[in-house]
A = this chain, B = another copy of it.
Amino acid sequence: MSVVDRLVHGNGSKILLVVLDGLGGLPVKDGNTELELAKTPNLDSLAKSSALGFHIPVDWGITPGSGPGHLGLFGYDPIRYEIGRGVLEALGLGLEVTHRDIAIRGNYATVEYVDGKPIVKDRRAGRIPTEENRRITARIREHIKEIDGVEIIIASGMEHRTAIVLRFPEPLPEGSDRINDTDPQEIGKPPLKPVGENPDAERVAQVVRKFIDRVAELLKDEPRANYLLLRGFSQKPKIPTMEERFGVKPCCIAVYPMYRGLASLVGMDLIEFEGSALQDEIDTLKKVWDSYDFFFLHIKKTDSYGEDGNWQKKVSVIEDLDRHLPQLLELKPDVLAITGDHSTPSVLKGHSWHPVPLLINSPYVLGGTSERFTERECLKGELGMIPAQKIMNLLLANALRLKKYGA
């Protein structure tokens, strides 16, 4: 148990954590970054009276995926708590993952049968259109609902990708996911047989082998996607909840399944709502404001446009938040934090290792260090550069939710 966990006490104060996914950037025009180009009068004003700085999601130089990026923001060591590839894929496609489950990434593939044995011809089934994936996945869902008492849950991803959850009748021991990938990584080879590294995993592998055979039989007449290769066998990690660790009652307001799934891993309540605009998220926030005391509000498009290299649109998402900021301030959160889970500079068209701008507002900050909420202005701020997983300490401290350490 870390120091902070031992010091928490509840006091009803409310913490609002706004995550602009992939927020940080690099110069894109006239030496200015996306944050510097955005016209943000409300953020500017807030920045002047806030604590500014950066967080480092995982470590210097390390580019985080969304999983480690968010775990850090939620106060968890992203190296200690690794989220398996299968679990992340399943969460991303909106599947629930429980301690009874083995989650798997699936790729539809094309095989050719030689002497009755499958040989991989195309590991991605020619990157079939997503609609074809949906049709084939629906066939599997209809015909293979259960194997030896294990429920089979499958969801379509983009092109050839799927996620599969094997749901057992009871919680699985740790290590039950120690099963090799079946993708041979080369064409002209047979798929690998999935084998468990230990008896618990072997028990799962037996189900997996039957599942693969059933799918192959079912899809044998498909022209392209006539086989399923499996990778990233994984279990829901054992993570203490935010309520257990920090004494908060947390909820998640996010549109995309991946982030809702990550929030669920640390025990956040997932709020259902219609629509996907920021105003829809804020309307939802207002509705549940009295029912929780920790609010994770996720804004995806800063990252999406960053990954497209579309800095103009990334700028516009930042400006959109700025326009909505007064509504967030009207709620009078005791502590408001605005940051990203990692940087996604438009010039890199992808996640990056750069420290992420961080703003914390509460009555107990120094403030007055900076004119705006930008990378260069954050360099002048009072927070310096801190590990992401320490942000939660600061949020709790600013909410006066931490007792003194020692006498």
Give A contacts to B, CB under 8 Å. 3-4, 7, 26-27, 31, 33, 54, 58-69, 78-79, 82-83, 85, 88-89, 345, 347-348, 350-355, 363-369, 375-376, 379-382, 384-386, 390, 392-398, 402-407
Given known A3-B62, A65-B407, A407-B65, contact A352–B364 (CB-CB < 8 A):
yes
B405 lies within 8 A of A64 (CB): yes
Chain B: minimal CB distance from A371 (Å): 14
Whether the Cβ atoms of B390 and A65 lie closer than 8 Å is no
Residue of A396, A403, A406 with most partner-chain B CB within 10 A: A406
**Distance from A245 Cβ to chain B, minimum over Cβ atoms (Å):** 13
Q: A59–B82 Cα gap in the complex (Å)?
A: 24
- Whether A394 lies near B58 (C-beta < 8 A) is no
**Which residues from chain B contact A64 at a C-beta distance below 8 Å?**
404-406
A405–B4 CB distance below 8 A = no
Q: How far is the CB of A87 from chain B (nearest CB, A)?
A: 10
Q: What is the CB-to-nearest-CB distance from A239 to chain B, in angstroms, rounded to a whole number?
A: 14
Query: What is the minimal beta-carbon distance from A347 to any residue of chain B, in angstroms?
Result: 7
Q: Chain B residues near A403 (CB, 8 Å)?
A: 63
- Are B63 and A397 in contact, with the CB atoms below 8 A? yes
* CB neighbours of A85 from chain B (8 A): 407
Whether A83 pairs with B406 at a CB distance below 8 angstroms is yes
20 of the cross-chain contacts (CB-CB < 8 Å) are A26-B364, A54-B384, A59-B393, A60-B393, A60-B394, A61-B390, A61-B394, A61-B398, A62-B393, A62-B405, A64-B405, A66-B407, A83-B407, A345-B364, A350-B404, A351-B404, A353-B394, A375-B382, A379-B380, A384-B385
Chain A interface, >50% SS class:
loop
B33-A3 in contact (CB<8A): no
* Inter-chain pairs besides A3-B62, A63-B397, A89-B407, 12 sampled, C-beta below 8 Å: A31-B367, A58-B405, A60-B394, A61-B397, A63-B404, A63-B405, A65-B404, A347-B363, A353-B402, A366-B375, A379-B380, A384-B384
CB distance from A126 to the nearest CB of B (A): 24
A397 to B390, CA, bound (A): 23
How many Å lie between the Cα of A345 and that of B363 in the bound state? 12
Q: Are A367 and B405 also in contact (CB < 8 A) when A59-B3, A60-B386 are?
A: no
Q: How far is the CA of A7 from the CA of B352 in the complex (A)?
A: 13
Known: A88-B407, A364-B26, A369-B379. A3 touches B65 (CB 8 A): no
Name the contact of A61 in the complex, choosing from B354, B363, B393 (C-beta under 8 A).
B393
Hey, which chain B residues are within 8 Å of A352, CB to CB?
364, 397
Contact B60 A27 (CB under 8 A): no
CB distance from A236 to the nearest CB of B (A): 15
Q: Which residue of B lies closest to A105 (CB)?
A: B407
B residues near A386, Cβ cutoff 8 Å: 60
Choose among B62, B368, B381 the residue that contacts A7 (Cβ–Cβ < 8 A): B62
